[in-house]
Structure 1
Amino acid sequence: MSCYYHECQNKGRTKEHIPPRSFFPANQRNQLLTVKSCEEHNNAKSSDDIYVLAHICMSASPSNGARDIFLQRVAPQLKHNGEALRKLLAAGAVPLSDGAVAYKVDVTRFDRFFSALSCGIIYNSCKARLPPNYTIGHVYHDFHDEVESEEEAAFKKHLLDFYSGEPMTILDFGHVKALNTTVYSAKIIGIPDWGSSITIVHRFFGTFRVTSMLTRIISDPQEYIGLASSRLNEES
């Protein structure tokens, strides 16, 4: 069986947990989803997992157990390796007037994490890898950029509103059998059998939201015509 990751040609000889085990309480590990992974992609983002979890918990805390997960999973790591994680999280942090702290986020780490998570969710839902003619991008709704324009903020809100309900039947790409939706849930929107671009709406602890956009690249104009004709026939 092939590795779950987009365009990877290696055999899946290990199991990758999606999301990682560190995101869940120790007594709920039997509820985790797994996909087949090669050794390279099983280890590629391991250094990102706790970093991403720390920021998610700090953004979502204290809702739905995020504070408890931070204390169980992140806090013990803050003192390891000469407090490397603590220093990494604190770098560039800015105290705010209300007593809160704004932390700088390494978006490259988040993109790497959520690209892998999205590939895993797709693989889990349809038992097939994302085809090579797709690109992956992410929108982080709970991060705020100082230079974010009003248009960008409006787009992020519109995206959340648009995908807030259940998808139409034609866009019911597949379902994720997430067993612990208090920690993590995902919704997949897209035409089945790779008939369109795909959107994955991730939600952690009920509040931290990320929209992953898996964009289908069509190089043949005739394929657009075929897609349009197919949709017209389904609607008639």
Structure 2
Amino acid sequence: MDEQRAGMSCYFPGCNEKGTTKEHIPPRSFFPVGERLQLLTVKSCKKHNNDKSTNDLYVLAQICMNASPSNRAREVFQERVAPQLSHNNDMLRRMLLKGAFKVRGGVAYPVDHARFDEFFTALSCGLIYKSQKAPLPSDYKVSHIYHRFISDADAERQALEAGIDRFYDGKPLDFMSFGNPDLRNERIYTVEIHGLPGFQGSITIVHKFFGVFKVTSMLTRFVSRKGGDPM
């Protein structure tokens, strides 16, 4: 895909539709009114813009509840999430309360990991497109680690996630500086992208919201052995 064609196409990997709308990364709903200095956009088809819109407020609400009272989380929840709780027959409220159960000292709210995965895959692909002016190639698999959520993974998996967290805690090394999307509102959202430029290997994206809610997105490139078997 040449640069001119890439500039016209949707940002989402594998989509050949024209980018007729603008997708905000992160979504506008994550920023208080008057503080939208960080409204980066990529071209998107209608499907990949509208399909994820129902996830945005759900993910924001969960992030705020898991980050509060740190930094701006409580303020953003009150301004951006609370007014939406009763819209569309309490749809957002019902989504958040689904499966809730009492625990000592309060209530626990189960997380819809499928919604989170869809949201962070789209966000990661948007950041890649913004940094490289090209979509993520099709030979990458995307997965995410949500460090603030209580994990029911086994001890080996927890140790692996903790090691990944420590290794990527900081600025990328010079030779792994994949690209900078030029984010500005660091009190709301920051991101670091680690990877060899030009899609030469796997990529790691470290998202941080309100300075405390951390998500590591692993974009793993699969290289085939001779004969077509994946490594």
TM-score by length of 1: 0.89
In the alignment, structure 1 residue 163 sits paired with structure 2 residue 179: no
Q: Which residue of 2 aligns with 1:100?
A: 106
* Candidates 32, 47, 67, aligned match of 1:60: 67
1:181 counterpart letter in structure 2: E
Could you tell me how far apart the structure 1 residues matched to 2:109 and 2:37 are? 33
Q: Give 1:180's aligned residue.
A: 185
Other-structure match for 2:124? 118
Matched, 1:190 2:195: yes
Is residue 211 of structure 1 aligned with residue 222 of structure 2?
no
Q: 2: distance between equivalents of 1:152 and 1:21?
A: 34
1:76 maps to what in 2?
A: 83
Structure 2 counterpart SS, 1:203: strand
Q: CA deviation at 1:29?
A: 2.2
State whether residues 119 and 130 of structure 1, in contact with CA within 8 Å, keep that contact through their aligned partners in structure 2.
yes
What are the superposed Cα offsets for residues 21-64 of structure 1, whole Å, 9 maximum, x if unpaired?
00001112243111111111111100000000000000001111
Q: Secondary structure at the match of 1:212?
A: strand
Over the aligned positions, Cα root-mean-square deviation in angstroms equals 1.4
Distance 1:43 1:179 in 2: 25
* TM-score, length of structure 2 as denominator length: 0.91
- The match for 2:92 among 85, 99, 116 is 85
Q: Partner amino acid for 2:221?
A: R
Is the Cα–Cα contact under 8 Å of residues 37 and 185 in structure 2 kept in the other structure? no
Q: What is the CA–CA distance in structure 1 between the aligned matches of 2:171 and 2:191, rounded to whole Å?
A: 12
The residue matched to 1:95 in structure 2 has which SS? strand
Runs of 5+ consecutive residues of structure 1 not aligned to the other structure: 223-236
Separation in 2 of the partners of 1:4 and 1:82? 33
How far apart are the structure 2 equivalents of 1:68 and 1:57?
9
In 2: Cα distance, 1:14 partner to 1:84 partner: 26
Aligned residues: 220
- Distance in 1 (CA, whole Å) between partners of 2:172 and 2:132 is 17
Question: Which segments of structure 1 move beyond 6 Å, counting only runs of 4 or more?
Answer: none
- 1:128 matched to 2:128? The reply is no
In structure 2, how many angstroms separate the alpha carbons of the residues matched to 1:158 and 1:101? Answer: 30
C-alpha distance in 2 between matches for 1:124 and 1:57:
26
Q: 1:157 and 1:176 mapped to 2: Cα distance?
A: 26
SS in 2 for 1:4: coil
3-state SS, counterpart of residue 186 of structure 1:
strand
Letter in 2 for 1:116: A
Residue among 147, 150, 153 paired with 1:144:
150
2:19 aligned to 8, 12, 20, which one? 12
Q: Distance in 1 between matches of 2:206 and 2:173?
A: 15
Q: Is the 8 A contact 2:37 2:184 kept in 1?
A: no
**How far does residue 135 in structure 1 lie from its aligned partner after superposition?**
1.1
Name the structure where helix makes up a greater proportion of residues. Answer: 1
Task: Report the AA paired with residue 17 of structure 1.
Answer: H
Tell me by how many angstroms 1:157 deviates.
Answer: 1.3
